[in-house]
Structure 1
Amino acid sequence: MAGGWASDGAVQEQIDSSIEDAIARARSQLPRGESLSRCEECDGSIPEARRQAIPGVRLCVACQSEQDKQRQAGAGYNRRGSKDSQLR
């Protein structure tokens, strides 16, 4: 049962939409094309096993780890927390 202006199932629709957005964002970041033998960032060698495991890989393990850390630092935005803080 919904209250106020929200329709029945509105919360679930928002959850589903957030999940779909996250999936689309993750898919857009997947590498495409042919794997490189040298890293785009540091020009280090990319092992054959990594190139076969991840088609389209562009970075070595060290550079990819650093890029993942940087992305993780900016991924902490919480819509619900932001809304709650505005209501106080």
Structure 2
Amino acid sequence: MAGGWSRDGAVQDQIDATVEDALKRARSEQPSGDSLEYCDECGENIPEARRMAVPGVRFCVQCQSAKDKTRREISPFNRRGSKDSQLR
């Protein structure tokens, strides 16, 4: 239910757009191409099993974990749970 000057379904459209944007961002950050043999960050050897499991991998497990933790801390998404808080 929309209120004011917005049409019915406008809030859901905004939520859907936010989810689509998040999916696009996540897909764009996925590695692609050939996997590296050595980590870009620390220079440690990346195990062959990881290189085979994640095509285009550029970081060892430890460095990737650190990057993922940093990314979660600066997440641009509002997690308050209110539909109104998700409007752009």
Q: TM-score, normalised by structure 1?
A: 0.84
Task: Give the whole-Å Cα distance in 2 for the aligned partners of 1:18 and 1:76.
Answer: 11
Give the match for residue 66 of structure 2.
Answer: 66
Which runs of 5 or more structure 2 residues have no equivalent in the other structure? 80-84
Give the match for residue 85 of structure 1.
Answer: none
For the pair shown, which has the larger CA radius of gyration, 1 or 2?
Answer: 1
Counting aligned pairs with the same residue, the percent is 59
Give the match for residue 82 of structure 2.
Answer: none
Could you list the structure 1 runs, at least 4 aligned residues long, displaced by more than 4 angstroms after superposition. Answer: none
1:8-62 Cα deviation digits (max 9, x unpaired)? 1101101110100000000110001100010001100101111111000000000
- Number of paired residues? 81
Q: Which has the higher helix share?
A: 1
What amino acid is the match of 2:58?
A: R
Task: Give the whole-Å Cα distance in 2 for the aligned partners of 1:49 and 1:68.
Answer: 20
Greater relative CO, 1 or 2 (CA 8 Å, sep 6+) = 2
Q: Give the alignment's Cα RMSD to 1 decimal.
A: 1.7
Give the match for residue 33 of structure 2.
Answer: 33
